[in-house]
Amino acid sequence: MGRLTIQTSIYSFSLKSNSSDSVSLSLPTKLFIPFRTPFPPTSSMAPIAVGDVVPDGSISFFDENDQLQTVSVHSLAAGKKVILFGVPGAFTPTCSMKHVPGFIEKAEELKSKGVDEIICFSVNDPFVMKAWGKTYPENKHVKFVADGSGEYTKLLGLELDLKDKGLGVRSRRFALLIDNLKVTVANVESGGEFTVSSADDILKAL
């Protein structure tokens, strides 16, 4: 009979040979294998915050000549004071009846305090955003822009999972004040709530 013992950094085991034709394997009854490095957690990008430089990325909108434009956020915001406010969806009740009308009504006052651009942002296609914007004939200053695939929303770290409601992944409700690409106010709602991201909330911060 022969015995071969194998030692590893984790455990040892033995091979016994009763004859030239048979080999038995003996393993410990309990085996604990230490993992030196845990699997990395999966997490989304941290939400945009005060002091951050707003990330660059592409957004789309129809201009005053009804031409579709796709531009970088930095090209719209560099050297300017910009309000970027996001909504979970075009034509949805809170967005349509409260959030957007507030910025349209307060636009002149906001601009008198040095705001150059007021941008309404949503994970919708630009045709939907164009149609939504046309429901506000009194609007003169709010630009309706689209993040069709949600890529820019991901860069902001402001995704909102609404798949259980059949809406896919949208944007959280928020309002950012951006001064020459730097975020000076970041009012981000929990889910689709509407408590801190109104035009009045931004006015208080100006």
Pick from 206, 202, 189: nearest CA to 105: 202
HSE-CB at 78 with a 13 A cutoff on CA atoms is: 8
Structure token pair of residue 185: 């106010």
Give which of 197, 198, 192, 196 is closest to 92, Cα–Cα: 192
* CB of 102 closer than 8 Å to CB of 200: yes
Report DSSP state, residue 49: -
Regarding beta strands 2-7 and 12-17, do their DSSP bridges make them parallel or antiparallel, or are they unpaired?
antiparallel
DSSP secondary structure code for residue 165 in this structure: G
Environment class of 83 (CB within 10 Å of its CB; exposed 0-12, middle 13-18, buried 19+)? buried
* Bridge partners (DSSP) listed for residue 176: 84, 186
Residues with catalytic function: 95
> What does the block give as tokens for 92?
């949805």
How many residues belong to the chain?
Answer: 206
Site of tokens 């309000």: 83
